[in-house]
Amino acid sequence: GAVVSQHPSRVICKSGTSVKIECRSLDFQATTMFWYRQFPKQSLMLMATSNEGSKATYEQGVEKDKFLINHASLTLSTLTVTSAHPEDSSFYICSAGGGTRSYEQYFGPGTRLTVT
């Protein structure tokens, strides 16, 4: 299957700062990338869908000014958590699809964010 990487795998930041998480499709061009949030022992909650070269589409209840998503190329999407607070602490997962992998989503390994 296709490979999707995320960086960093873990990050700790102070309350009020911003943190950027990168999602890369390593061996295919992803026209669409998805960002999920997952709390312990719970399901994945879709935050937003990003298409290369256009603005992300956010799910209801997700603050677009807090969770900035950029999909500048066919292999890279970034999620920036702005002015992070302890309640933003969570596990963030990206997935990539589209292009030559049109019917599949390939998941990154996730990023654990802790806001102190």
Partner 1 sequence: AQTVTQSQPEMSVQEAETVTLSCTYDTSESDYYLFWYKQPPSRQMILVIRQEAYKQQNATENRFSVNFQKAAKSFSLKISDSQLGDAAMYFCAYRSMEYGNKLVFGAGTILRVKS
What residues line the site for partner 1 (CB under 8 A)? Answer: 1, 32, 34, 38, 41-44, 46, 49, 91, 93, 95, 97-98, 102-105, 107, 109-110
Q: Which is nearer to partner 1, 81 or 97 (CB)?
A: 97
Q: Which is nearer to partner 1, 11 or 82 (CB)?
A: 11
CA pair distance 42, 85, nearest whole angstrom: 21
Residue 65 DSSP label: T
Least distance from partner 1 to the Cβ atom of residue 83, Å: 26
CA pair distance 108, 110, nearest whole angstrom: 6
Those residues whose C-beta lies under 8 Å from the C-beta of residue 28, and which sit 6 or more positions away, are 2, 96, 99, 100, 101
Q: Which is nearer to partner 1, 33 or 84 (CB)?
A: 33
